[in-house]
């Protein structure tokens, strides 16, 4: 009888392990493959409830929402994915498709060329990566310095000297872009989650209307007061919007 129980427990454990091997993320992928997008969304959301997240998880969730024609969540999760992996082509591609579905056509005030250039470089990595690179270059610089001062061979000394300057330059370069990337990443944005809303000149409902916005539009958050966000539109307009109409991309 005891042996029976032992076996029973063993089976239980095995069974538990088999199910535990498939994470909610994988379950979500499986549901997505079968076309059960709502199930996929549920699994992915479950996967998000933990302490960890990933760009891929947000991307897949965005895809599932896209498939179910939910504009705002789709754009929202693509934006979140892009925040973790700013250079990912797949995310950018599908975000562009999702953005086609939203209603607002807001002319963007173009950035200056130099800012655009700087921004495109800064967004290759996230700012922590830039910071790690800064540290790495400082160590490479140390190596080069050591070569320069300790080597007796003039050729090696010369190489060391050159690399000392290259790494010093690269250190300052990555430090600078870490700063820019951090500034960009610390900009808070929100996605409009209600089908239709009005933005106002003041943070109260009786104030004058500035414009009407629709689901899926991304706005920059500048300030907040009570239940209102002060936002900036891509065309430079600034106005107030009720907090409940917007979901912040954190």
Partner 1 sequence: MKKFLLFISLILGISSGYSQITFKARVSQRNITTDDRVRISFIAQGNSRNIYNGRLEAPSFEGFQAMGPFVSQDFLYINGSSFYKKSYTFTLKPEKAGDFTIEPAVFVLEDKEYKTRPIRIHVAKGEKPLAPPIVSQGTKQNPAESQNGTKDIFLVAQVTKNKPYINEAVGLTYKLYIPKSYGVQNYRELSQPQYKGFWAQDIDRNISGPFQGEINGKAYEYYILKKKLLFPQEKGKLTINPLTLSIDIQVPVIRQMGYFQIRDFENKRIKLSSGPKTLYVRPLPEEGKPLDFSGAVGQFDFFVNPDRNKVPSGEAVNIEVGVKGTGNLKLFNLPELKAPEGIEVYDPTHTEDVRPTFAGNKGTVTDKYILIPNHSGKYIIPSMRFTYFNPQTNSYETKTTEDIILFATGNNAYQSTSNLPANTGGGKDFRYIKEKQHLIEKSHKTFFKSRIFYILLGIPFLLALLFYLYKKIISNRIIDESKIQLNKRKSLAQAYLKEAASHTQNKDLFYSSLEKAIHNFLKAKLQIDTSELTKENIRKLLNEKKVDNKDIETVISILNNCEMARYTPFGAGDIRHDLSQTEKVINSINKQI
Interface with partner 1 (CB under 8 A): 25, 29, 32, 50-57, 59-60, 63-64, 66, 69, 71, 84, 90, 93-94, 96-97, 99-105, 127-128, 130-132, 134-135, 138-139, 141-142, 145-146, 149-150, 171, 178-179, 182, 195, 214-215
> Smallest gap, in angstroms, from Cβ of residue 17 to partner 1?
20
Query: Residue 71 or 246: which CB sits closer to partner 1?
Result: 71
Least distance from partner 1 to the Cβ atom of residue 40, Å: 8
Q: How far is the CB of 102 from partner 1 (least distance, A)?
A: 6
Pick between residue 106 and residue 230 the one whose CB is nearest to partner 1: 106
Half-sphere exposure of 239 (CA within 13 A, CB side): 21
Q: Tokens for 39? A: 């199930």
Locate tokens 């991307």: which residue?
59
Which residue, 88 or 224, is less far from partner 1 as judged by CB? 88
Minimum CB distance to partner 1, residue 57 (Å): 5
Handedness of CA 85, 86, 89, 95 (dihedral sign): positive
Mode of pairing for the β-strands spanning 188-192 and 246-249: antiparallel
**Strand positions, DSSP E, 168-217:** 188-192, 196-200, 209-214
Angstrom distance (rounded) from CA 174 to CA 133: 6
**Nearer to partner 1 among residue 168 and residue 232 (C-beta):** 168
* CB-CB contact of 211 with 199 (8 Å): yes
């Amino acid at each position: 009888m005891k042996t029976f129980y032992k076996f029973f427990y063993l089976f239980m454990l095995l069974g538990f392990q088999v199910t535990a091997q498939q994470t909610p993320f994988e379950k979500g992928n499986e549901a997505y493959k079968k076309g059960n997008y709502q199930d996929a969304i549920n699994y992915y959301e479950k996967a998000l409830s933990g302490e960890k997240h990933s760009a891929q998880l947000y991307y897949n969730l965005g895809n599932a929402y896209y498939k179910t024609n939910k504009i705002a969540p789709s754009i929202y999760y693509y934006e979140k994915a892009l925040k973790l992996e700013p250079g990912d082509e797949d995310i950018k591609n599908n975000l562009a498709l999702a953005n086609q579905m939203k209603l607002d056509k807001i002319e963007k005030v173009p950035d200056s060329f130099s800012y655009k250039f700087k921004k495109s470089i800064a967004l290759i990595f996230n700012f922590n990566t830039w910071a790690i690179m800064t540290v790495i270059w400082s160590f490479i610089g140390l190596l080069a310095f050591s070569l320069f001062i300790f080597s007796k061979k003039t050729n090696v000394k010369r190489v060391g000297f050159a690399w000392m300057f290259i790494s010093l330059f690269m250190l300052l370069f990555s430090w600078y872009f870490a700063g820019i990337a951090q500034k960009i990443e610390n900009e808070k944005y929100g996605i409009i989650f209600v089908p239709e809303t009005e933005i106002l000149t003041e943070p109260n409902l009786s104030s004058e209307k500035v414009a009407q916005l629709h689901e899926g539009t991304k706005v920059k958050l500048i300030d907040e007061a009570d239940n209102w966000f002060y936002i900036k539109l891509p065309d430079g307009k600034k106005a107030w919007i009720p907090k409940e109409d917007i979901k912040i991309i954190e």
